[in-house]
Amino acid sequence: MEGMAYGAGKAGGAFDPFTFIRQPYTILRMVSWLFSIVIFGSIANEGYVNRPDEVEEYCIFNRNQKACNYGVAMGTLAFLSCAAFLALDVYFPQISSVKDRKKAVLADVGVSAFWSLMWFVGFCFLTNQWQAAKPEDNPLKEGADAARAAITFSFFSIFTWAGQAFLAFQRYQLGADSALFSQDYADPSQDPAAAAAAAAAGGPYSAYPGGGDMGGQISTGSYQQPSMDDALDGGYQSQY
């Protein structure tokens, strides 16, 4: 795309919220954000049950506290990650440095791929523990819908985060338009190769600051120190 750097135009443009909301990666982030709320909300609110003759509540997933902790922790962290990258997406067009944009896009690729993997692990873990749960541990089947919701949205989160990783990788492949964005500048006078090339081409080179005031011409004539005899002959006149 002409004039684009990693999927966004030149810095300084006006922010259009309607265009931003319609972006595919924005939609996927918001969907993943909602999924994370459902997951940790379902487990935190209805993920602990007990038998009729018990007072203490246990995790609905086979009474394995680690399963509930995993679901709540991953849901909370995924929620914060979505919020952080949504804020980065809003600020991204204002980043003028191509290198900084590249770092942001690479971070998006890595984080999204990581969360896709974590939700795959979470889906397998929660499903296994739910299948291993004993009916006598929850005779009233309390929280069953919440457990199924957590498992279902964990499965969906695998693909929403994988989609974000794919779109971020596409943005990385777009690269940057070097004609519109500033790159690192190297002073030719400090670069030996550039100086040698300029000398070989016969280009003008100022040997001292302010040389341009003389029209770019530098005197190359030789200067000879006057001898003592010339100084005496020229500076003394005989009175006789």
* Contact between 129 and 58 (Cβ < 8 Å): no
More confident position, 98 or 167: 167
Q: What is the pLDDT of residue 232?
A: 45
8-state DSSP, 176: B
Is residue 46 pLDDT above 70, yes or no?
Answer: yes
pLDDT at 203 over 70: no
For residue 180, CA distances in Å to 9, 176, 232 come to 10, 9, 68
Q: How much is the average pLDDT of 183-205?
A: 51
Residue with tokens 């909370």: 76
The model carries a pTM of: 0.67
Q: Which of 67-81, 119-133, 182-196 has the lowest mean pLDDT?
A: 182-196
